[in-house]
A = this chain, B = another copy of it.
Amino acid sequence: MMMVDEVADRLTAEDLRTIWPALSDDERVAAFALLEREDAIDFFLGLTGLDQATIILGYPTNERRLWIRLLAPDDAADVLQEVTLEERAVLMELLDEPTRREVNVLLAYAEDSAGGLMNPRYARMRPEMTVDEAISYLRLQARKHLETIYYAYVLDEQQRLLGIVSFRELFGAPGDKRVRDVMETDLVVAPEAMDQEALARLFAEHDLLAIPVVDDQGRVQGIVTVDDIVDVVQEEATEDIHKLGGMAALESPYLQTDFFLVIRKRVGWLSILFIGGMLTASVMEHFEQELSRAVVLTVFLPLIIASGGNSGSQASTLVIRAMALDQVRLRDWWRVFRREVFSGVGLGVILAVIGVVRVLLWEVAFDAYGDHALRLGLTVGVSLVGVVLLGTMTGSMLPFILRVMRFDPASASAPFVSTTVDAAGLIIYLTVAKLILTGTLL
């Protein structure tokens, strides 16, 4: 690859970060090898688990050992989750014995649970220590690799959590006070199996830098730090956004995902929507007589049904995001519904006015609709209010229905809402037309 060769003698971590997304796996390994050792370590530690796996596997065995041992046990576990089972066994051999045991424990947890995110190494102390003793003891522990020592965890002999001391408190306290008198006992802990989305909410609610993970006996298994939560939040948002686009979520970056995998993630929903959309064809066939008598009706048809889809997609997006952030819960459905009924009428009337103006303008300018211009305008206007209202009601309630049925509310994507609304929108439009135009145009 041109770009990499050219700069071979002066590639910095910053350069590599810039071109990284554009490189293939092989190019990444080659370019990474050009970094100076210190740069390389910093760069490596900032990569995702997937990219770290690529780099490690790109090296021969003895070099691999060096890189994988740079990682904390939770990060090593992430890397091992990105490789094949064969590669996993090979890489496992490269870890030192205690880390291997820790990683094995971590791999047993679901990747997206508190247990799967935690680091088993954390600062600990005993309640009967004095503050001075505790600080000295922390200095000893710091020589080992600790994930964070911003909080220290006070444990009894059975490793059960008694309290938490923040460094700020420990440092601000007189040296001869006991740890038990300084520690916070109003504890926020996460069970091992807690889902990462719930865990992210726990962090947001309590504004904490780290949360200890405990088993069902209250014994501390590790801690999750807020920097891992940033990744969780990004991941969950990506998942929701992909679903909102009317497809299954990709787990790796778009350009790095196998082409056929991307197709598979898209074709499912696309086919479902297409088959669902066939309902519109059946509705159209039902109204074939009216359509053949007044072709002018078909002229406004795409415009009117699209408006229902658009207003519905706004409503579903608002509700889905509010649900993901826990701002709207199931029991709020009635407040949401009431709001969206009013929104639907308001927005519908505004579009109706624009629509009627369009019909009348064309009539004045081109004499487009003859004697029927007023009635046609009325048909378009009334239909728009109905279709937009249908859109906001359907769009806002679909996420609730999906959640009650234990599906992901984010599946109520803009395309899904449009498809749901299209056939009913057609029925509204063509029925209104029949009512208003029978005896004149029809």
Query: Which residues from chain A sit less than 8 Å from chain B, CB to CB?
Result: 17, 21-22, 38, 42, 45-46, 135, 138-139, 142-143, 146, 148-150, 167-168, 170-172, 186, 200, 203-209, 225-227, 229-231, 233-234, 237-238, 240-242, 244-247, 250, 253-256, 259, 262-263, 266-267, 269-271, 273-275, 277-278, 280-281, 284-285, 288, 291-292, 295-296, 298-303, 305-307, 309-311, 313-314, 316-322, 325-329, 331-332, 335-336, 339, 342-343, 346-347, 350-351, 354-355, 358, 368, 413-415, 418-419, 422, 426
Chain B hits for A226, CB < 8 A: 209, 226-227, 230
Q: Are A274 and B46 in contact (CB under 8 A)?
A: no
Chain B CB count within 10 A is highest, among A277, A327, A415, for A415
Let me know if A298 and B303 touch, CB within 8 A: no
B267, A234: Cβ atoms closer than 8 Å: no
User: Which single member of B233, B263, B327, B331 contacts A347 (CB below 8 Å)?
Assistant: B263
A322 in contact with B253 (CB, 8 Å): yes
Q: A422 — which chain B residues lie within 8 A by C-beta?
A: 302, 306
User: Which of B205, B207, B414 is in CB contact (< 8 Å) with A17?
Assistant: B205
Return A172 CB to nearest CB of chain B, in Å: 4
The number of times this chain is found in the oligomer is: 2
Known: A142-B167, A285-B299. 6 other contacts (CB 8 A): A17-B205, A245-B316, A247-B318, A266-B314, A270-B310, A418-B418
Question: Which residue of chain B is the closest to A136 with respect to CB atoms?
Answer: B171
**Chain A interface SS verdict (over half):** helix
User: Min CB distance, A391 to chain B, in Å?
Assistant: 10
In whole angstroms, what is the CA distance A206 to B263 when docked?
33
Chain B residue nearest to A205 (CB atoms) is: B46
A291 touches B298 (CB 8 A): yes
Cβ of B259 and Cβ of A339 under 8 Å apart?
A: yes
Could you name 18 residue pairs across A and B whose Cβ atoms are closer than 8 Å?
A142-B171, A203-B230, A230-B233, A245-B314, A245-B316, A254-B318, A254-B336, A259-B339, A267-B350, A273-B307, A274-B307, A275-B354, A281-B358, A284-B299, A285-B368, A302-B305, A306-B415, A313-B415
